[in-house]
Amino acid sequence: MESILTYNAPLTDQIADIAEVAGYLWERGWAERNGGNISVNITEHMTAEAATLLAIRTVQLPATFTALASNYFFVTGTGRRMRYVSSSPMDNGAIIRINAAGDAYDIIADQDVAPTSELPSHLSMHNYMRGVKKQNTKVVCHTHPTDLIALTHIKQFLAPGVLGRMLWSMIPETRIIVPCGVGIVPYNVPGTMELANATIAQLATHDVVMWEKHGCLAVGEDVIETFDMIDTLSKSAQIYFYAKQAGFEPEGMTDAQLDALVPIFGLPTE
């Protein structure tokens, strides 16, 4: 049987980008066992024939996502390892079609792989970004960067704005690549709607959110872009820890030095 990717070069390229990022997450040590998940809105790449594809399985959603009605997503599978998503994405992920009411989805390709158990959380974020914030967000990427998680075990960094300001100050590129800073969500049980709702509150003003003692989540228009944001923040965390290991508290860039980047790179003001 032909794959849904057959004769669809844009979709094939999108799935290849997802596989590339999944490989990076594994190589960085940010995706232990089946840790992390990715969802990407692929509606723009779907052909008219996709609406006629029979469902492998239909699943009711616990909420209605009206902004996502009739949209299509690639979602990594529940219990699937990122290293296998990297090598064989269509065997370790699902293409789903949200129904016209936004309250159920069909798995339409390529196999009956159940999407991540955090799918309702992902969809709630996609729904918020498109329906409320009116942004063309296509990607939600969640992973477990070791150095960034370590910072959330340090109480001083849990206060609003503190962690993001410190990470900005380690290297100019962090302010440039992550211009909206980092939101912080206090510890909550993974996979719950409580965690999702707390994350949505932070997405009102941030594109990257840290979950205390758990992981990091980034949203954006491109899956490579979301990885780049997290990767850049990780570089800043490493600089901070290297300085601490050398026996001193890193000075960081001053407010004036950070503010000087704003007009040059067209960054939003705080």
* Residue position matching structure tokens 């991540």: 116
Catalytic position from the list 27, 44, 118, 270: 118
Q: Which parts of 18-175 are beta strand (E)?
A: 37-41, 57-60, 72-76, 93-98, 104-109, 139-143
| Run of H or E residues at 209 | strand 208-211
Please give the Cα distance from 25 to 115 (Å, whole number): 18
Q: What is the dihedral of CA 15, 16, 19, 21, to 10 degrees?
A: -110
Q: Distance between alpha carbon 11 and the CA centroid of its chain, in Å?
A: 19
Q: How far is CA 257 from CA 27, 162, 168, 173, 217, in A?
A: 33, 17, 11, 12, 27
Q: Of the candidates 130, 71, 137, 129, which has an alpha carbon nearest to the alpha carbon of residue 105? A: 71
Q: Is 118 a catalytic residue?
A: yes
* 209 close to 149: Cβ distance less than 8 angstroms: no
Please give the Cα distance from 123 to 64 (Å, whole number): 10
Active site residues: 118
